[in-house]
Chain A
Amino acid sequence: MSGRYVVAVDRIKCDGHGVCADLLPEMIELDDWGYPIILPGAVPPSVLPHARRAVSGCPTLALRLQALAARR
């Protein structure tokens, strides 16, 4: 069971490398200073592979997938 996830970023860890926006353009764009703006809401299942790649590709390990159910 895959579950529903949101993309979350640790703003202190994030250094604005911008890798996430390359790997997950469906959900992430960069602001004028190169920091991610994340689309709100759950990651669509079709996009989940890209999201996982973005999480593992973040040079500062700032990105994570947060299970929606676990937050309740």
Chain B
Amino acid sequence: MSEPVISIRGLRKSYGDAEAVRGIDLEVERGEVFAFLGPNGAGKTTTVEILEGYRKRSAGEVRVLGEDPEHGDRRWRERIGIVLQSCRLDPYLTVRESLGLYAGYYQAPRPIDETIELVGLGDKADARARSLSGGQQRRLDVGMALIGDPELLFLDEPTTGFDPSARRQAWETIAGLRELGKTVFLTTHYMDEAQRLADRVTIIAKGEIVARGTPEDLGDRESRPARISYREDGREVALETTTPVKTLNELTGRALAEGRELEGLEVARPSLEDVYLELTGQ
């Protein structure tokens, strides 16, 4: 087992009396897309900015690529790429120039044209940043973070405020990173984004981790009660059961014996969205 790319033990961060991060532990393995999911103000950006070396922590152990980000030197910065939550590009530089500018900051940058293709801006290579749509600007953002050919990429809420088609485009770009073998640390407050992109999801709420797992088994969705609902004499009946097969059998057996229908019969597992909202107390 190789050393984790990111490891955090007992991380805390306070701003005055307010504690934004209250003792979290997590590990991110090489090559995975890790989603850090939580509502606004849960402590996501604080955490990611500590990992990126922008903020100092109040307590705890943090290792990113084997180093403490607070003392990350140039060599360490060569190995990470950062897409900030909100960052506008230089409006007067073209896509190729923006990438050229950033390529100059690194010892061994990726080829510029290849990176342009990678983020799907081939037909916009000579367009100035100001003429790009929001989704295209975000993809250029990702390209600029990739230009140094980093091992680890941080994406802080990459699609917040996007319309559905821009989100889809950004998602395709991020999904493509997995094929490059990059480790990706993604923060988001969109359940579907985490579900769509991540190998593993950790949910943070009010500065504490409330759940972790793969998108499929997150929050023990499989073992949670199923909800059965139908209409009887015009009123809604709903019941929750951990043994849906047995309960359903009894219900339908009785209805059959009495010769009536169970109108509007539905059996539902809690959706990821339900689990997420419950866990984050929204």
Chain B associates with chain A = no
